[in-house]
Amino acid sequence: MSNHSSLTKNEEKVLFGMVKYPNKSDKFLARYLKMKDSTVNYCRNQLEKQNMFQVVYLPILNRLGFELLCINFAEYNLKITLNKRKNAIAKDIKIANDIFLRIGDPEKEFSISFNKNYSEFFNNTQTRLEKMGKLGLLRKNSNNLQENIIFPINYSMFHNFFDYSRLLGQAFSIPFEDLITPDLQQSKQQESPNTDEHSLFFSNHELSNLSEKEKAVFVALIDFPNHSIKEISELKDISLNRNTVSKMRQKFIHDGLMRKIIIPNLSLIGFEFLVYYHFRFLPDKPAASEIIQSLNSPTTIIFFYNQFEAVILSVFRNYSEYKSDKVQKYSYLNSNEILGKSPEPRKYLLSNLEYIRKFDFRLLSRNI
């Protein structure tokens, strides 16, 4: 058993395999991990019983008319108790349709949103800010106003979007490159470039139009990621045969309109810190892509950048791991003389996190 992990070695390997190949069957994972089919199936069931993962269908929203990905950060007014703030958020603040991830601890919150254009982003942000301001939830300090970082999807790079495979491979000491047998390697090479092996997210900017029935199935898959094809086909708004729904799902995934991702429950397997980096680069010396990409370590779960700034979300098992990572990143950027004035990394204890919205694309998907 790995340090701090409550899982058996077999469970660790299966969780890693599920995260790396979320679309694959237990039979494929058994070959990949060199395990028995029955062992993989048993471990998957045990992981599900222990609430060790969340299944998410991620809509590739730039293909469906969304132009902006936005990072939003705010610090709370500490004079308002945690319970009072939570009640105010639950009762008085509509959790906007644009946000799919919104988390907070006793001092601050962090969220990620998609918007179709700047006007939509401005309206959503102003409405949210006004409501939080009226309720007195924000810290009253001119140096700590709400921060919004905008990444135009067509002009930015997204190398990680909640891909935990490298993180788990390192944490569980799984040499996953060595696990691929020649026949699996051939299968991997034959896969569509739009499958989950493609390293970049949101790199295809070709717009796609869905029929009304396709939209209904698309939204249902996002709403009910754990439903079987049979259950989806029997929904009131769908009423299609299973074969049609199955073909639609395969088409969405193959065409790069949707990805299935597995979100592991990190706090249950020994991780303690979530750290948010925001780097700004000197405008007179735009950073080369290969330099920025060097910041993408195995601890990274999101990595967005353009030539003038980057946002990184990383996870660590302890403070010492975070400190080492921070020193390496800042030393590297300073040695290349590209680092501008950047805020101090913001740290979250996973045990203190409150998920106001957790990888929930349901309201967003209705806006396609």
Quote the pLDDT of residue 145: 60
Give the model's pLDDT for residue 215.
92
Confidence of residue 162 (pLDDT cuts 50, 70, 90): very high
Q: What is the mean pLDDT of residues 95-110?
A: 86
| pLDDT above 70 for 15 | yes
The pLDDT mean for the chain works out to 87
**pLDDT score of 339 more than 80:** yes
Write down the pLDDT at residue 93: 62
- In one letter, which amino acid is 272? E
The label of the residue with tokens 């269908």 reads 57
Instruction: Write down all domains in the chain, each with its CATH number in brackets.
Output: 9-56+165-264 (no CATH), 62-154+353-365 (3.30.70.100), 272-346 (3.30.70.100)
Q: How many CA atoms lie within 13 A of 181 on its CB side?
A: 10
191, pLDDT greater than 60: no
Kindly tell me if the per-residue pLDDT of 182 is higher than 80: no
> Per-residue pLDDT tens for 241-273?
999 999 999 999 999 999 999 999 999 999 999
Over pLDDT 90: what percentage of the chain?
59
Contact 114, 100 (CB under 8 A): yes
Task: Band the pLDDT of 19: cuts 50, 70, 90.
Answer: very high
The number of residues making up the chain comes to 368
Minimum mean pLDDT range among 114-128, 195-209, 215-229, 270-284: 195-209
pLDDT (average), residues 155-171: 92
Average pLDDT over residues 11-36: 94
Model pLDDT, residue 30 = 94
Q: Which residue has the higher pLDDT, 99 or 2?
A: 99
pLDDT one-digit tens code per residue, 280-336:
999 887 778 888 889 999 999 999 999 899 999 999 999 999 999 999 999 999 999
Which residue is associated with the tokens 């405008």? Answer: 283
More confident: 93 or 229: 229
Nearest-angstrom CA–CA distance, 44 and 23: 14
Q: What pLDDT score was predicted for residue 210? A: 92
Query: Taking 50 as the threshold, does the pLDDT of residue 69 lie above it?
Result: yes
User: Which pLDDT does position 68 carry in this prediction?
Assistant: 95
What's the pLDDT at 193? 43
